[in-house]
Amino acid sequence: MEDIVDINVIRLTTAYVFVVILFLIVKYKKVGHEKQILLATIRMTIQLVLVGYILTFIFEHPSPFLTLLILIIMETFAIFNIYSRVQTKLSNSLKRVVAFSMVTGTVISILFFLFIVVHLKPWFRPQYFIPISGMLIGNSMTGISLGVEGLVNGFKDNKKFIENALMLGACPSHASNKVSNRAFYNAILPTINAMIGMGIVFLPGMMTGQILAGASPLIAIKYQIAIMMGILGSVTLTVFLMIKFGIKCFFNDRAQLQLEEFESK
C-alpha cells in the first residue's frame, strides 16, 4: 500500500482560491448572498477541523459508549437539520413522525449493513461505524427533507382534489395516494440519479478516499457498491416510514383534511 500524500497547511490554504473565485463572481454579477458563502466556508472549516480532532481521539480509544454517543449526536443533528431545512411549517405530530422515521430507518439500515454486509467485529469499530453511519444518515436526511416538503406542498396544492375524493367515500390513504407517491419518488430521485452517473460521470467520495489511501480499486468498488445499496435502502426505508405515518398528521379523527397547522412558518 502506497503512502498517503499529505497536504500541509500552506498548500491546503491555496485551495480556498476557489472560494475567492466564487466570491468575486457573485460580487461581479451582483447575485448577493456573500455573507452566506463566507459563513458556509468558515463553518465548514471549523466543523471539519473539530471533527478531525474528535475522530482522532475516538479512533485511538475505541469504545462502544463513544461510538453510540456519536451516533446519537449525528441522529439528533440530522433531525433538527431537517426541521430547519424544510421551507414549510411542520406540525408537532409530523415532527415526531420525522424523528421516528429518521431514527428507525437509519438504525435498521446501519445495523444490517455493519452486521450482515461488512460483518464488522467488534461492531463498534469507529473507523467503520462512524463514516458508514454518517453516509447513511446524511443521505436519509436529504431524502426525508425532500419527502416531507413534497408531502406538505402536495396536500396544499391538491386540497380540493383530496376533499372531493373524501366526499365520494375514499379513505385518507387512497385520497392522498397521488400526493404520497409523488413525494416518495421525488425524495429518492437524487439517490437514483447519483447511482446512474456513478463510475462513469464521477467517482464517489468513499471510493476515491480508499483509492487515495492505497486500497485496490476493485476493493474500493466493492465497498462503494455496498454502501450505495445501503444508502438506497436507508433513504427508501426512512422516507417510506415518514410518508406512511406522516399522512395521518393531515387528517383528524373524522378523516377530515386539516391544513391549518401547515399554513405558515
Helix (H) / strand (E) containing 180: helix 177-197
Residue 140: its pLDDT value, please? Answer: 96
pLDDT of residue 28: 85
Residues 87 and 112: their CA atoms lie apart, in Å, by 33
Instruction: Please give the full DSSP string across 181-234, using - where no structure is assigned.
Output: HHHHHHHHHHHHHHHHHBTTTB--HHHHHHHHTT--HHHHHHHHHHHHHHHHHH
3-state SS, residue 56: helix
Closest CA to 117 of 106, 105, 125, 109: 109
Give per-residue pLDDT as tens, 209-243. 777 677 777 888 888 889 999 999 999 999 999 99
User: 144-165: per-residue pLDDT in tens?
Assistant: 999 999 999 999 998 898 988 8
Residue with the three cell numbers 497547511:
9
Alpha-carbon torsion (194, 237, 225, 1), positive or negative = positive
Contact criterion met (CB below 8 Å) for 262 and 91: yes
Judge if the upstream peptide bond of residue 126 is cis by omega within 30 degrees of 0. Answer: no
pLDDT of residue 255: 80
Report pTM.
Answer: 0.85
Residue with cell 468498488: 221
User: What pLDDT is attached to residue 3?
Assistant: 62
pLDDT of residue 200: 67
pLDDT tens per residue across all 265 residues of the chain? 456 677 888 999 999 999 999 989 988 887 778 888 899 999 999 999 998 999 899 989 999 999 999 999 999 999 999 999 888 888 899 999 999 999 999 999 999 999 999 888 888 899 889 999 999 999 999 999 999 999 999 999 988 989 888 888 888 889 999 999 999 999 999 999 888 877 666 666 666 777 767 777 788 888 888 999 999 999 999 999 999 999 999 998 888 888 777 766 5
Cα–Cα distance measured from residue 37 to residue 258, given in angstroms and rounded to the nearest whole number: 38
Cell 405530530 maps to which residue?
93
- Bridge partner residues of 198 (DSSP): 202
CA distance linking residue 259 with residue 257, whole number of Å: 7
Per-residue pLDDT, 2: 54
Are the beta carbons of 155 and 250 closer than 8 angstroms? yes
* Exposed/middle/buried for residue 90 (C-beta within 10 Å: 0-12, 13-18, 19+): buried
